[in-house]
Amino acid sequence: MDDLFVADEIKELREKIAYHSDLYYQKAAPEISDYEFDQLVKRLQYLETKYPQYKIQESPTEKVGSDIDDESKIIPHKVRMYSLENAYTLEEIEDFYNKITKETKKMPYFTTELKLDGFSINLYYENGDLVYATTRGNGFEGEDVTQNVKTISGIPQKIDYPKPIEIRGEIFLPRSEFERINEEREKNGERIFANPRNAAAGTIKLKDPEIVKTRKLDYRVYSVGLFENNEIKSQYTLLKYFEKLGFKTLARDMKNLLKFGELNRIIEQCKFWELEKNNLEFDIDGLVIKVDDFELQKKLGYTSKFPKWAIAYKFKAEEVETQLLGVDFQVGRTGAVTPVARLEPVFISGSTVSNATLHNEDEIDRLDLKIGDYVTVIKSGEIIPKIIKVDKKKRPDKAEEINFPTNCPVCSSPLRKQEEGAVTYCSNANCPAQVQRRIEHFASRDAVDIEGLGEAVIKQLLENNMIEKIEDIYNIDFEKFANLERQGKKSAENLQKAIEKSKNQKFEKILFGLGIRYVGARTSKILTANFDNINALINASYLDFLMIDEIGEKIAQSLVDFFSDEKNLRMIENLKKIGLNMKSEKQEIKDKLSGSTFLVTGSLTNFSRNEIKNQIEQNGGRVVSSVSKKLEYLIVGENPGSKLSKAKKIDTIKIISEQEFLEMIK
Ligand code: AMP
Ligand code: ZN
């Protein structure tokens, strides 16, 4: 392959992986299946091994996907948390088995455990008390979710084990509870969760433990971090010990958790659970095979991302056949018209499905689809599943052609295709469907976060001609609003306050709210870290954008297009006049640290994690997420973590104490 193409592909893969990782770990709203995601990572891994000159330290092949979204709640793990190597074929399991037996020159025992499809959790006990609970985070440090975890019944608050111990497991929603919550959400007009995993991930980070309590989360534990105990020498005995301490383990649900050294029995287990998984009360996405003996585990060690002594056999998405009843056309915020298949409802991977996305007109052509056809559907991570094939032999005589509309189903303006062809857009920027979606996006939680300004209220405002574009929400006539149906003085007051508050949102959230194509929350954050204010973004060139890690051609072009559109510039000008924050945090600030990069390890005496971050940023510095060549200063507190040893290996990094940092900003 031509080198230039390799570099491009690598960059594109990194960009894609970062995008989907963010959707999965932080937003709990994935758009692609685990399988598709894992294949992207595997391809990148292959290219990086073959062309090591393009490898970077921050590569997603080297780190676990981070779930951290509130930096002020970070607690470092005492012992690192890892991800798991994954396999989708039984051959890969065989390879793993053979490699282990060859390397250890033994016939080691293995355990097989269900791979729970939930959210990993770290429970820290001291003197027998549950001190805190954190998420996996980036593997080195996690986010504090103690209050929420304490609402989960069955997690012991007190255990009979005095030494400090980190106990690890998975939090999940049983299927029945998932369905109950979704029914309730549907009744209240709230967005429903796509699957129990997304629901569990969305629940564990809620700000109100009272709500968490109403959702009956469950858990199982399966491993330890910090643990000083010479009696427990294997995974199997560890699970038994957990039970003795009062924890729920997977041994309860998997009666045949046993030790064995025969490959065929491992393979049998994989096949068995792939068929049996729907009979469990919770979702599993595979089976985890672990070397049982701790001594052997230690010998085998870890890569930068996973233990070499374990592997996950992951199940492929389930396929189900059903009939296509019709096709609806929906208009999104960019005007893109998406065909959505209406299906005869079928039960698939834990829930009933009646819609599937068809993406665009080309997809309909590619599938050669007609209404009335029998189609194969898979759930691939997203809210609406996908149609992957059509059984033409079963096509009914009366099957109807699908006619892609030539005019917008909402405003009747002519539809247009853009350059590359696949996607069809409504050409009317004032199309009510688009305006509605744009404002919904702007007000959403990850954008400027206006509580009370959801789908229904926006619709009401539009129908009463009180707004027609984003910036109009800052000029709402609240007296009039109070007199609208279902509204009142109180709701008007609350909305006014929420709207006022949104003006001071962080720039990254406001930027995200503008709805630039392909610019998600994460890309926004990257942009505001690299550009001081909105003017710098407006004036930046295609190449300026491309220079940034994780920004590829598609995003760069979209940014240039967005900022050269008169309408968008007018909107930005208006929002500025209204007083919305359009500056990066670092900008207002004294410049003592002028752009230097920092990272903290261990605990500090004068600052919490959030305070030191603010100090660094207010003085013009930048906090990075991990040790790499881009790091200039590592601030070392008490009980430093593995970042210190990592940093020592890179001689350009200056390792400083808290005192030295104070000197720098004095
Ligand atoms: P991944 O989500 O692909 O990084 O897979 C690794 C994750 O699987 C771990 O971080 C755990 O949260 C989860 N997991 C679920 N069940 C198990 C299990 N029995 N043993 C180890 N990890 C598990
Ligand atoms: Zn339209």
- The 3 state secondary structure assigned to 198-230 is HHHHHHHCCCCHHHHHHCCCEEEEEEECCCCCC
The ligand 1 atom at the shortest distance from the C-alpha of residue 82 is 10
The ligand 1 atom at the shortest distance from the C-alpha of residue 250 is 19
Q: Is 487 in the pocket of ligand 1 (CB under 6 A)?
A: no
Residues 6+ apart with CB under 8 A from 154: 218, 219, 248
Q: Is 87 in the pocket of ligand 1 (CB under 6 A)?
A: no
Q: Is 222 in the pocket of ligand 1 (CB under 6 A)?
A: yes
Report how far ligand 2's centroid is from the alpha carbon of 429 (Å).
8
DSSP-assigned letter for residue 32: S
Mean pLDDT of 278-296: 92
Q: Is 311 in the pocket of ligand 1 (CB under 6 A)?
A: no
Catalytic-residue membership of 115:
yes
pLDDT digit string (tens) for 458-506? 999 999 999 999 999 999 999 999 999 989 999 999 999 999 999 999 9
User: What is the rounded CA–CA span in Å between residue 645 and residue 627?
Assistant: 10
Mean pLDDT of 213-231: 94
Report how far ligand 1's centroid is from the alpha carbon of 300 (Å).
19
Report how far ligand 2's centroid is from the alpha carbon of 499 (Å).
27
The ligand 1 atom at the shortest distance from the C-alpha of residue 34 is 3
Highest mean pLDDT among 85-94, 410-419, 577-586: 85-94
- Closest-CA residue, ligand 1 atom 12, reads 120
Query: Between vectors from CA 557 to CA 554 and to CA 561, what angle results, nearest 5°?
Result: 135
- Closest-CA residue, ligand 1 atom 22, reads 115
Mean pLDDT of 85-92: 94
The yes-or-no verdict on residue 258 having pLDDT over 80 is no
pTM above 0.75, yes or no: no
Query: How does DSSP assign 508-570, residue by residue?
Result: HHHHHHT--TT--HHHHHHHHHH-SBHHHHHH--HHHHHTSTT--HHHHHHHHHHHT-HHHHH
The ligand 1 atom at the shortest distance from the C-alpha of residue 83 is 4
- Which ligand has the nearest atom to the CA of 112? 1
Q: Are 373 and 464 in contact (CB under 8 A)?
A: no
Confidence of residue 361 (pLDDT cuts 50, 70, 90): confident
Mean pLDDT of 409-425: 85
Confidence of residue 420 (pLDDT cuts 50, 70, 90): low
Query: Between vectors from CA 67 to CA 64 and to CA 70, what angle results, nearest 5°?
Result: 135
- Closest-CA residue, ligand 1 atom 4, reads 83
- Which ligand has the nearest atom to the CA of 306? 1
User: What is the rounded CA–CA span in Å between residue 23 and residue 16?
Assistant: 11
The yes-or-no verdict on residue 409 having pLDDT over 50 is yes
pLDDT digit string (tens) for 598-654? 999 988 888 887 788 878 877 778 888 888 888 999 999 988 888 899 899 988 899
At 587 the pLDDT is 46
User: What is the rounded CA–CA span in Å between residue 556 and residue 346?
Assistant: 41
Q: Is 24 in the pocket of ligand 1 (CB under 6 A)?
A: no
The ligand 1 atom at the shortest distance from the C-alpha of residue 136 is 10
Q: Which two tokens stand for residue 79?
A: 């012992």
Q: Is 250 in the pocket of ligand 1 (CB under 6 A)?
A: yes
Helix ranges, 108-161 (H): 146-149
Integer-rounded Cα Rg, in Å, for the chain is 26
Mean pLDDT of 136-148: 94
- 266: phi then psi, degrees, rounded to nearest 5: -65, -45
User: What is the rounded CA–CA span in Å between residue 605 and residue 6?
Assistant: 47
The yes-or-no verdict on residue 589 having pLDDT over 60 is no
- Closest-CA residue, ligand 1 atom 1, reads 83
- 419: phi then psi, degrees, rounded to nearest 5: -30, -70
Q: Are 213 and 385 in contact (CB under 8 A)?
A: no
Highest mean pLDDT among 22-26, 187-191, 248-252: 248-252
Sheet of 633-636: strand order equals: 622-623, 597-601, 633-636, 654-657
Q: Is 136 in the pocket of ligand 1 (CB under 6 A)?
A: yes
Report how far ligand 1's centroid is from the alpha carbon of 116 (Å).
7
- Which ligand has the nearest atom to the CA of 201? 1
Q: Is 120 in the pocket of ligand 1 (CB under 6 A)?
A: yes
Higher model confidence: residue 171 or residue 7? 171
User: What is the rounded CA–CA span in Å between residue 218 and residue 447?
Assistant: 31
User: What is the rounded CA–CA span in Å between residue 548 and residue 545?
Assistant: 6
Report how far ligand 2's centroid is from the alpha carbon of 328 (Å).
14
Confidence of residue 157 (pLDDT cuts 50, 70, 90): very high
User: What is the rounded CA–CA span in Å between residue 202 and residue 148?
Assistant: 12
In Å, the largest CA–CA distance within the chain is 82
Mean pLDDT of 96-106: 91
- Closest-CA residue, ligand 1 atom 16, reads 115
Q: Which two tokens stand for residue 258?
A: 């046993």
Confidence of residue 382 (pLDDT cuts 50, 70, 90): very low
C-alpha distances in angstroms, 34 versus 21, 87, 317?
10, 11, 9
Of 286, 294, 291, 293, the closest CA to residue 312 belongs to 286
Q: What is the mean pLDDT of the chain?
A: 89
> Which of 22-31, 197-206, 513-522, 656-665 is the least confident region?
22-31
Report how far ligand 2's centroid is from the alpha carbon of 341 (Å).
20
Query: Between vectors from CA 661 to CA 655 and to CA 666, what angle results, nearest 5°?
Result: 155
At 588 the pLDDT is 46
User: What is the rounded CA–CA span in Å between residue 247 and residue 633?
Assistant: 42
One-letter amino acid of 511: L
One-letter amino acid of 50: K
Q: Are 79 and 33 in contact (CB under 8 A)?
A: no
Quote helix, strand, coil % in the chain, to nearest 5. 40, 20, 40
Mean pLDDT of 527-556: 89
User: In the Cβ-directed half-sphere of 301, how many Cα atoms lie within 13 Å?
Assistant: 4
Of 337, 317, 461, 335, the closest CA to residue 377 belongs to 317
Percent of all residues in the chain with a pLDDT value above 70, rounded to a whole number: 96
Q: Is 113 in the pocket of ligand 1 (CB under 6 A)?
A: yes
Mean pLDDT of 240-266: 86
Mutation test residue for ligand 1: of 116, 303, 313, the one with most atoms within 8 Å of CB: 116
Residue 423: strand, helix, or coil? coil
Highest mean pLDDT among 43-57, 115-129, 642-656: 115-129
Report how far ligand 1's centroid is from the alpha carbon of 610 (Å).
29
DSSP-assigned letter for residue 583: B
According to DSSP, the β-strands at 119-126 and 165-172 are antiparallel
Q: Are 195 and 173 in contact (CB under 8 A)?
A: no
Residues 6+ apart with CB under 8 A from 470: 438, 439, 442, 513, 571, 575
Report how far ligand 1's centroid is from the alpha carbon of 496 (Å).
44
Q: Is 116 in the pocket of ligand 1 (CB under 6 A)?
A: yes
> Which of 298-312, 442-456, 579-593 is the least confident region?
579-593
Mean pLDDT of 135-163: 95
Q: Is 285 in the pocket of ligand 1 (CB under 6 A)?
A: no
Confidence of residue 322 (pLDDT cuts 50, 70, 90): very high
Q: Is 122 in the pocket of ligand 1 (CB under 6 A)?
A: no
553: exposed, middle or buried (C-beta count within 10 Å: 0-12, 13-18, 19+)?
middle
Residue 638 β-bridge partners: 603
Counting every residue written for the chain, the total comes to 666
Q: Are 100 and 58 in contact (CB under 8 A)?
A: no
- Which ligand has the nearest atom to the CA of 222? 1
Mean pLDDT of 54-82: 84
The helix (run of H) or strand (run of E) holding residue 40 is helix 34-50
The yes-or-no verdict on residue 301 having pLDDT over 90 is yes
- Closest-CA residue, ligand 1 atom 9, reads 83
According to DSSP, the β-strands at 374-378 and 386-391 are antiparallel
Which among 115, 277, 290, 643 is annotated as catalytic? 115
The ligand 1 atom at the shortest distance from the C-alpha of residue 113 is 19
Q: Are 124 and 149 in contact (CB under 8 A)?
A: no
Higher model confidence: residue 556 or residue 190? 556
